[in-house]
Amino acid sequence: MPDSGRTGIPGPSDVAVRSVKPIDRRPIRIGMLDGIPGGDETGSGTRRVLLDLVGGLDPMRFQSVVFVREAGRFSRQVEGLGGEVVVGGVAPLAPLYRQIGRFVVPRPMGFARDAVRLPRAILETARRFREHRIDVAYLPTILEHVQGGMAARVAGIPAVAHVQGIPQAGHRVKLMLAPYNAWCRACGCVPIAISKAVAEALGPGPAGPPRVIHNGVDSDRFRPGRPDPAAFEALGLPLDGTPIVGILSRIAPGKRVHLVVPFAKALAARIPAARILVCGDLSREGPTASGNPDDGTPGIPFASRWRQDSPYFRGIAEGLEAAGLDRCVTFAGHRDDLPTLLHGIDVVAHLCDIEGFGLVLVEAMSAGIPVVAFGTAGPAELIVDGVTGHLVADPSDVDGLARKVADLLMDPPAMRRVSRQARQEVQRRFSKGRFIAQFQDLFASLASGEP
């Protein structure tokens, strides 16, 4: 019998080995590191994007494993979407900043403590990645990029750094941008920016500018429809034809929600009957911030409680009272029913000037609600001025923002035209299906070892 090794003809042992070699068809396991404190918070854009991924990834190809600090509403939502949850899977680091009024200032001891804690946190996170057989790490915030990026390198797996804010717009990261970029390159993280504005602020890496994947919106969930009168009655806003302007934002200095005071004053000068509905919870930066819907009744009770909890909110409330506008503005807290609540809002105004993307704006556009925002950063990329919404060039021109809102409210045909064109634009550029498909391709290529 000829020697199979010389002729190239497989011998019996070769056939046996190949016939029993297992084929690994298990889903690619995506380790999602969520270091946001508070197990009950579900209103942050970062967590909403993460939930979109958990619920949208093809379960035949991917399994989401979400590492959280503590169990709560958020972890239950993850499990409800088919994701695995690892509680206590994110080593907590010391707070780096504290909030004083409208300002967020560094905590020097926080940086010192984290310099000591970070190596242990990295090793612990790497151990978790290995223990749960993670193939690709998904890191949604800057602190996770730092901790999880190096942990992924130690564990020998690729990592995606999802950059969801303007890195050098705030004083927090502006001075740290160069070392942050150097660290992420050392970790081997693949940066993904949510907009061109974010990519430009981040700057090019060794392989060029970061790839841009726009956030997506489920246009079946956020779609035009009839308002629920009972929901507005509960908020003290009967749907009797009074114009309602929505501000959809977490209540934080960076979101510039304090500008609701001059905005309300300028809007009242043009349309005295107009009411403003602010939907969003308190900033995570406050030591006692909560703002969860389970804490109490929406509407005025939120304002009463938050006034005690948050100096920042107290300043807003006192400013509205001093201007005699406190009855014109209602704070509804975080709302799980936002897709239907939008149906009773006439126009959405956006006060932030450094928004990396503006997910709430795209959701409103998908629901057919005209939006007015400052023409900076993400909104300038999302909105075609005068076609799918309106932009105000100068981010300090709050009066101009109110004027654009008032002009829309007094021109119903223009509102209908913008509403229709905005929804079409969302379906064309910002669909959830497109967002999920791009991330699936990215995760699959990284898991297979492709660059």
Query: Which residue is associated with the tokens 């994947």?
Result: 213
Q: What is the pLDDT of residue 19?
A: 38
443 shares a domain with 424: no
**Does 343 lie in the same domain as 436?**
no
Environment class of residue 172 by beta-carbon count within 10 Å: exposed (0-12), middle (13-18) or buried (19+)? Answer: middle
Residue 26 DSSP code: P
Same domain, 49 and 144: yes
In the numeric block, the tokens 């949850």 are attached to: 85
Confirm whether 155 is domain-assigned: yes
Shared-domain flag, residues 212 and 247: no
Using the predicted structure, report yes or no on whether residue 294 has a pLDDT greater than 50.
Answer: no
Do 66 and 86 contact (CB within 8 A), yes or no? yes
359 contacts 215 by C-beta, under 8 angstroms? yes
* DSSP of 281-347: -B-TTSTT----GGGS-SSHHHHHHHHHH-HHHHHHHHHHHHTT-GGGEEEEE--TTHHHHGGG-SE
* Residue 23 is assigned to a structural domain of this protein: no
Say which CATH number the domain at 115 has. Answer: 3.40.50.2000
Residue 20 covered by a domain: no
50 and 145 in a single domain? The answer is: yes
Cα angle 355, 333, 50 (rounded to 5 degrees) comes to 50
Q: Residue 143: which pLDDT band, with cuts at 50, 70 and 90?
A: confident
Please give the model's pTM, rounded to 2 decimal places.
0.85
Same-domain check for residues 235 and 158: no
| Summary mean pLDDT of the chain | 85
CA gap 277, 339 in Å, rounded: 15
Do 42 and 152 lie in one domain? The reply is yes
- Mean pLDDT along residues 407-423: 96
- CB burial readout 17-39, b (16+ within 10 A) else e: eeeeeeeeeeebbbbbbbbbebb
Give the pLDDT confidence score for residue 205 in this predicted structure.
78
- State the pLDDT at residue 362: 97
| Angle (deg, nearest 10), helices 300-309 and 311-322 | 120
CA–CA separation, 44 vs 61, rounded Å? Answer: 27
Is 7 within a domain? no
The count of domains in the chain is 2
Secondary structure class of 29 (helix, strand, coil): strand
Q: Coil, helix or strand for 147?
A: helix
185 and 326 housed in the same domain: no
Do 50 and 77 have their domain in common? yes
Expressed in angstroms, the distance from the first to the final Cα of the chain is 46
11: left (phi over 0), alpha (psi -120 to 50) or beta: beta
Token code pair at residue 318: 């006192």
- My answer on whether 212 and 304 are in the same domain is no
Q: Does 401 lie in the same domain as 299?
A: yes
On whether both 339 and 396 belong to a single domain, the answer is: yes
Judge whether 260 lies within some domain. yes
Q: Is 38 helix (H, G, I), strand (E, B) or coil?
A: coil
Q: Which tops the pLDDT comparison, 295 or 185?
A: 185
Is 14 domain-assigned?
Answer: no
**Does the structure show a pLDDT above 80 at 115?**
no
Is 166 a domain residue?
yes
State pLDDT tens for residues 128-142. 999 999 999 999 988
The answer to whether residue 249 scores a pLDDT higher than 50 is yes
Q: Which domain holds residue 177?
A: 28-216+432-447
Of 424, 354, 421, the residue nearest 386 (C-alpha)? 421
Q: Looking at the domain assignment, is residue 5 inside a domain?
A: no
pLDDT at 17: 37
Helix (H) or strand (E) holding 30: strand 28-33
